[in-house]
Structure 1
Amino acid sequence: MTPTFRHALGALAFTLGLACAASPALAAYPDHSLQLIVPYAPGGTTDLMARIVAPKLGEVLGQTVVVVNKPGAGGALGSAFAAREPADGYTLVMAVESSHAVNPAVHEKSSYDPVKDFAPISNLANVMGVLDVRGDSNLKTFKDLVDALKAKPGRYAFGSSGSGGYSHLFGERFLSSTGTKMLHVPYKGLGPALVDLMAGQVEVVFDNLPSSAGFLASGKLRALAVASPQRVKSLPDVPTYAELGYPQLNTPSWFGLAAPKGTPAPILDKLNGAIKQVLSEPAVIAAIEQQGAVPDYTSREQFAAVIAHSYEVWQKVVNDIGFEKL
Structure 2
Amino acid sequence: MNISNLSRRDLMKWGVASTLGAPLASAFAQASKGPITLVVPFAAGGATDVVSRLVAQKLTERIGRSVIVENVAGGGGAIGAAKVAKATADGSVLLMGTVATHAINPLSTPPAPYDAQRDFTPISLVATVPNVLLVSKSFKAKDVRELVALLKAEPGKFSYGSSGVGTPPHLSGELFKSMTGVDIGHVPYKGGGPAMTDLVGGHIPILFDVLTGAASHIRAGSVRALAVTTSKRSPSFPDIPTLAEAGVPGYETYTWNAVFGPAKLPAAFVESTSREMQAVVAQPDVQAKLKELSAAPVGSTPEVLATLVKTELDKWGAVIKSIGGLKRD
TM class by shorter chain equals 0.7 to 0.9
The 3 A distance-change label for structure 1 pair 121 and 286 is same
The 3 A distance-change label for structure 1 pair 157 and 36 is same
Give identity over the alignment, percent. 34
Q: Deviations over 1:31-80 (max 9, x none)?
A: 43333222234454433332332221222222343333333333223222
The 3 A distance-change label for structure 1 pair 185 and 122 is same
Counterpart of 1:302 (choices 301, 304, 307) is: 304
Return 28-37 or 144-153, whichever deviates more: 144-153
In the TM superposition, 1:1-326 aligns within 5 A as 27=29, 29=31, 31-134=33-136, 136-138=137-139, 141-143=142-144, 145-146=147-148, 147=150, 151=154, 153=156, 156-160=159-163, 162-178=164-180, 179-187=182-190, 190=192, 193-194=195-196, 197-198=199-200, 203-319=205-321, 321-326=322-327
1:9 paired residue number: none
The 3 A distance-change label for structure 1 pair 229 and 309 is closer
- Measure the CA separation in 1 of the matches of 2:127 and 2:253: 13
* Aligned amino acid, residue 305 of structure 1: T
TM-score by length of 1: 0.77
The 3 A distance-change label for structure 1 pair 140 and 232 is farther
Deviation at 1:190, TM superposition (A): 4.2
Secondary structure at 1:243 match in 2: helix
Deviation at 1:218, TM superposition (A): 3.0
Aligned residues of 1:132 and 1:222 also touching (Cα < 8 A): yes
The 3 A distance-change label for structure 1 pair 225 and 314 is same
- Measure the CA separation in 1 of the matches of 2:67 and 2:197: 28
**5+ unaligned residues in a row in structure 2: which ranges?**
1-25
- Measure the CA separation in 2 of the matches of 1:26 and 1:38: 21
TM-score by length of 2: 0.77
2:21 paired residue number: none
Deviation at 1:128, TM superposition (A): 2.2
Secondary structure at 1:242 match in 2: helix
The aligned length equals: 299
The 3 A distance-change label for structure 1 pair 55 and 313 is same
**CA RMSD, Structure 1 to Structure 2 (Å):** 3.1
Aligned residues of 1:104 and 1:112 also touching (Cα < 8 A): yes
- Measure the CA separation in 2 of the matches of 1:199 and 1:34: 44
Return 279-288 or 136-145, whichever deviates more: 136-145
Aligned residues of 1:224 and 1:239 also touching (Cα < 8 A): yes
- Measure the CA separation in 2 of the matches of 1:40 and 1:203: 28
- Measure the CA separation in 1 of the matches of 2:201 and 2:72: 25
- Measure the CA separation in 1 of the matches of 2:165 and 2:193: 15
Deviation at 1:226, TM superposition (A): 0.8
Deviation at 1:114, TM superposition (A): 0.5
The 3 A distance-change label for structure 1 pair 26 and 245 is closer
Q: Which has the larger radius of gyration?
A: 1
- Measure the CA separation in 1 of the matches of 2:239 and 2:27: 54
* Aligned amino acid, residue 159 of structure 1: S
**5+ unaligned residues in a row in structure 1: which ranges?**
1-23
* Aligned amino acid, residue 323 of structure 1: G
Aligned residues of 2:27 and 2:268 also touching (Cα < 8 A): no
